[in-house]
Amino acid sequence: RFQACVYFASVFQAMSCGIHYLASVFMAVTPNFVCGFPGNVSSVLFHNSSASSIEDIWTLWTSTENYIVVQLENGDIWELDQCSRSKREASLDLAYEYKGNKSVFPCSDGFLYDDTKWKSTVVTQWDLVCDREWLAKLIQPTFMLGVLIGALVFGDIADRLGRQRVIWFTSASQFVFGIAVAFTFDYYSFVIVRFLLAMVSSGYLVVAFVYVTEFVGIRARTWASMHVHAFFAVGIMIVALVGFLVRTWWVYQICLSIATLPFVLCCWMLPETPFWLLSEERYEDAQKVIDTMARWNKVSTPCKVSELCSVQQDNPASGTTGDDDTSPAKKHTILDLFCNWQIARRTITVWLIWFTGSLGYYVFSLSSVSLGGNEYINLFLIGAVELPCYIIACVAMDKLGRRNTLIPFLILSALICVLIMFIPQDFNILIILANMAGKFSIGIAFGLIYLYTAELYPTIVRSLAVGSGSMMCRVGSVVAPFCVYLRSVWIFMPLLLVGIMALLSGILTIMLPETLGRPLTNTLEEATQMGRNKKSCSEKTPPAHSGAALEKIEMFGQERVSNDK
């Protein structure tokens, strides 16, 4: 009961991470627009259609290459393009086609935007079009850059100051910065505050994974960690719902930010994890948490910290070489992930899978609003399709194995990317279904790689391996928005790139060892032998501490089971 309450309270806030990660798909929409004009309009002409105002013309607008002809009250006739305007020199009759002389002027009177769908976006707020269009395209990449930095910063702080404090700070900061974004006064302050929002959102998500893992027992750990992603997907669905209901960007941002306010009000009740308290030798505090867990779960004989300490002291694995040498253990670096050809090839493949999973995940998500049809339903479905994919991933990787699940779904996502290219563009429903299938496939691979990476590497470099893989994941999320922008070059370019990366990753995964049912390795030698390669690292690394004392905590809050469990 205690673990369940802590788990659902923690992952509830993960929805806000999904909300803020994808909020820009509607907040930074660029609607149809043309140059403004100097004066009051008397009549408007678009091809063979005439109207008294430009607002009546937007429903006929089909291409950015079109232009609108307007006649002002003083008799001047202007041709309005998107990034320029032309004044007809000698024209008495209002006609769409004109072969006479024109004087071209810049858009010094601003722009006129189509507000039939969105009353206001950050693009219309600060005229992020034409020569300022690149600023609009930097909104999502700069956010993802903040995600990368936040994962690094707050992951380290959580190890130093504790998980509880970081969860308090990042969850409260998400609310504060989320509201602050709505009240920014210019583009640059908007980007800076969103960057800070990205840092705390990423920090929360990273620490929440660790937090729930340290509270949830071994039997439910795989399912619990995997379904943190599911709550992230629910956040994406909330973005679609709020985007449909609210069409002014700053009101939209406020509504998204207050969606998880209940957690901010009660997050101070979450306790610190006993794992971290014991690692910091705060035994009295750890005992208090353990006693609280016992009361909630109605365990009559809670374990004592003194018993845990005695187990740790009696453990023969001391983390030394076994000789009289008391020098500290060797500090491992990223280079240890390339200590021989077997481990180096494994590292390159794992990094590629992390990058491809993140790239595909965000390309399918960010592109969903451009598939045709109703963009709100598209994004909602792209989020909803993740919910069953994590259930299937959990079942498949325990029944078929990690590698045997990863390979087919990576290759399947590549094939789906190719299939989408051959679907006619007027088959909107079929295109949307194919994109959902692509997101489903890449979502399974993306969710599985967390656990698979931890199992592929020995204890001494396991954190390095997962951390470096997570770094490649963040790089993929930074690259993804730029990949989506390549639609302007060729509409299928993003899918082509994702398909190539997924196919390459799937082929290379064949060379990875299966880890299902195998014990975790402790040394680089053992990890190398798992790959059936006799060549091993030159040095022998001492086995890592077994952590028997900490493992006993996982039994708290669960009914007593037999010793062989």
Helix axes 249-257, 228-245, angle to 10 degrees: 150
Rounded Cα distance, 24 and 477, in Å: 14
Task: Let me know whether 65 and 170 are in one domain.
Answer: no
Of 252-261, 290-299, 357-366, minimum mean pLDDT range: 290-299
Model-wide pTM > 0.95: no
Task: Let me know whether 70 and 10 are in one domain.
Answer: no
In a domain, 172, yes or no: yes
Q: In the chain, pLDDT over 70 holds for what percent of residues? A: 87
Rounded Cα distance, 5 and 296, in Å: 10
In a domain, 561, yes or no: no
**In which domain, by residue range, is 58 found?**
33-116
Task: Let me know whether 81 and 183 are in one domain.
Answer: no
Of 16-20, 48-52, 267-271, 292-296, minimum mean pLDDT range: 48-52
DSSP 65: T
Task: Let me know whether 266 and 370 are in one domain.
Answer: no
Q: Average pLDDT for residues 17-40, to the nearest whole number?
A: 88
Task: Let me know whether 426 and 457 are in one domain.
Answer: yes
In a domain, 343, yes or no: yes
Q: In the chain, pLDDT over 90 holds for what percent of residues? A: 30
In a domain, 490, yes or no: yes
Question: What is the 3-state composition of the chain as percent helix, strand, coil, each rounded to the nearest 5?
Answer: 65, 5, 30
Task: Let me know whether 87 and 201 are in one domain.
Answer: no
| Structure tokens given for 516 | 């299902």
Average pLDDT, the chain: 82
In a domain, 284, yes or no: no
Does the pLDDT at position 562 exceed 70? Answer: no
Within its chain, how far is the Cα of 206 from the centroid? 11
Strands (E), 47-93: 49-51, 68-72, 77-80, 85-88
Spatial CB neighbours of 338, under 8 Å, sequence gap ≥ 6: 344, 347
Q: Average pLDDT for residues 523-537, to the nearest whole number?
A: 65
What does the H/E/C string look like for 459-512?
Answer: HHHHHHHHHHHHHHHHHHHHHHHHHHHHHHCCCCHHHHHHHHHHHHHHHHHCCC
Rounded Cα distance, 69 and 280, in Å: 73
In a domain, 236, yes or no: yes
CATH number, domain of 400, equals: 1.20.1250.20
Q: Which residue has the tokens 């973005």?
A: 239
In a domain, 304, yes or no: no
Task: Let me know whether 4 and 109 are in one domain.
Answer: no
Task: Let me know whether 131 and 227 are in one domain.
Answer: yes
Nearest of 59, 263, 300, 233 to residue 172 by alpha carbon = 263
Rounded Cα distance, 250 and 120, in Å: 8
Task: Let me know whether 217 and 143 are in one domain.
Answer: yes
Torsion angle, CA of 479/484/488/489, rounded to 10 degrees?
Answer: 60
Number of domains in the chain: 3
Q: What is the pLDDT of residues 167-204, one digit of tens each?
A: 889 989 999 999 999 999 899 999 999 999 999 998 88
Task: Let me know whether 91 and 145 are in one domain.
Answer: no
Q: How far is CA 248 from CA 117, 120, 124, 133, 244, in A?
A: 10, 5, 11, 20, 11
Task: Let me know whether 204 and 241 are in one domain.
Answer: yes
In a domain, 287, yes or no: no
Boundary (domain end) residue, out of 88, 116, 144: 116
Q: What is the pLDDT of residues 283-304, one digit of tens each?
A: 788 888 888 888 888 877 767 7
Task: Let me know whether 150 and 73 are in one domain.
Answer: no
